[in-house]
Structure 1
């Protein structure tokens, strides 16, 4: 009987897939470039093909975390023209169990399982036991999720915070927003706070059309224009994270996910991030007390998918162990 669950963290640019058993620990992680495939099915077929017939036969279900809303029957990536129907996906692969979740929902499920080595603190603060936690951050887009406690259970709530309108609180920000409005129309958070947003900020401020990776690399080399662009990005990020922390009352802590957060990790503590995070009168004191951590685990979305997949795997194992009932 199949007893493993295929788990996948599917972003706009790349995807990470693994197998998980009842222990919830991801194993045999494979990373794929989305550009190499026409869609979800093709990528999963290729992944299972690489694992071999025995591994494929052992898979009885899947948990797919996608960079987009996942609460309907049809699931679409926000920043890539990929979509699937949940019932069709389950039938196609013959899975007994199947779930699709937003990528930041999966990330939120994984936060309690992260260790000290998976996190970098930004400033001080002490988490309030049992209080809501905020998970947010830039990658291909800008993801937002909350982790709240109900009795002994933790419940994840998700939204599309990256599509909230972005305003300005300084002359420099007003200039950026005005440029983005000319190019994109109404400006939303992820127009600035995403990988493409970092590149856009740098181009507007310096005139140089660099990729986000190149901007970070130049800042790492000490190039002043790139570092200035990173500081502007991190100031905006701090302000938006502070807005969201107040909205959710995230006194249990703020966790910054997404590939861009990890890439910029060396710059946070010497940037305007924490000042902008706290500068929310009259609630500065509340935000000063709120701890902020960057998630630097290489595959944090898979940790969360593993928690969900482990629960599924337990049901498959229980089914195989259940004794046959005979009617006399």
Structure 2
């Protein structure tokens, strides 16, 4: 009798898959490197093959969170050449229920289930009850989503904040933007605010071409050039997060997600992030009152997928297969 939902948080670099029942709590989490597979179906097949056959037979549906738009029939990753048809993948696996959502939509749904141990506050602020929540941040790209409470249920608002055009607010940012413009043409937010963006900023400022992980590691060792790069990155991040918070009216709080946010968590204190976040006249006081938290939970996307998967698990019917 089907009673489980397969959930997956599929990023540009790696994917996390788990199973969930009606309680919405992810179990048996498996992590895969996307480079090991040709596409979505191959990765899911490999994941299911690693699980107990008796358990796999009880999987009646799936929720896939993908790093890209998911509102059409054809779903494509923004930063990897992977795509699937919703109807075709559901038929391929014989799932009763299926949902595809943007990865930051899943993150947004997971925010209410996070606890204090999953978060690191950045500055002060108090969330206003039932006000919009913003989730945004850099990873392989830059994602953003909103969360609204309507009645007794939360509803996510998806967007593509990473593709908004990037501007400059001081001389250093003008210098960085000019370099990116020559290299890339019109510059989007995620050209700077992403893992590759961190490496790009470091190369522009220092002439050194190293991986973003190496920049963060060097900053952790106290190397001045790397720490300056991280602070420049965090100033840009703070300004963009403040922009998005004003657009959404995010008085319910701002949550910073993505692997780069978590990696840079030790450097937020003492950086220009909070100052740049609040420096949006004439709304400095509003943003100063807005709480900001870094999400440090290791699999926050799966938490949100679990919430959605739990809803689907409650609707599964005995022995019904898709044909």
Deviation at 1:55, TM superposition (A): 2.1
Q: Deviations over 1:154-213 (max 9, x none)?
A: 210011110000000101000000000111000000000000000000010011111111
Structure 2: how far apart are the matches of 1:258 and 1:311?
25
The alpha carbon displacement at 1:9 in A equals 0.1
Alignment partner of 1:72 is 2:72:
yes
Map 1:181-260 to 2 at 5 A: 181-260=181-260
In the alignment, structure 1 residue 275 sits paired with structure 2 residue 275: yes
Aligned partner of residue 88 in structure 1, secondary structure: helix
Which runs of structure 2 are paired with 1:12-91 in the superposition (5 Å)?
Answer: 12-91=12-91
Aligned match of 1:115: 115
> Secondary structure of 2:47's partner?
helix
User: Matched residue of 2:275: which SS?
Assistant: helix
Q: Any runs of at least 4 consecutive aligned residues in structure 1 with deviations exceeding 6 A, and if so which?
A: none
What is the CA distance between 1:53 and its match in structure 2? 1.6
Unaligned runs of 5+ in 2: none
Q: Cα RMSD (Å) of the superposition?
A: 0.9
The equivalent residue for 1:145 is 145
Q: How does 1:127-142 map to 2 (within 5 A)?
A: 127-142=127-142
Using the alignment, how far apart are the partners of 2:191 and 2:214 within structure 1?
Answer: 18
Offset, 1:269: 1.4
| Distance of 1:160 and 1:195 partners within structure 2 | 17
Q: Secondary structure at the match of 2:244?
A: helix
Distance between the aligned counterparts of 1:83 and 1:56, measured in 2?
24
**Structure 1 length-normalised TM:** 0.96
Provide TM-score, normalisation by structure 2: 0.98
User: How far apart, in 2, do the equivalents of 1:273 and 1:201 lie?
Assistant: 16
Say how many residue pairs are matched: 319
* Displacement after TM superposition at 1:314 (Å): 1.2
Q: CA deviation at 1:151?
A: 2.4
Q: Deviations over 1:201-234 (max 9, x none)?
A: 0010011111111100000011000000000000
CA drift at 1:3: 1.0
What is the DSSP-based 3-state SS (H/G/I as helix, E as strand, rest coil) of the residue aligned with 1:182? helix
**Shift in Å, 1:152:** 2.5
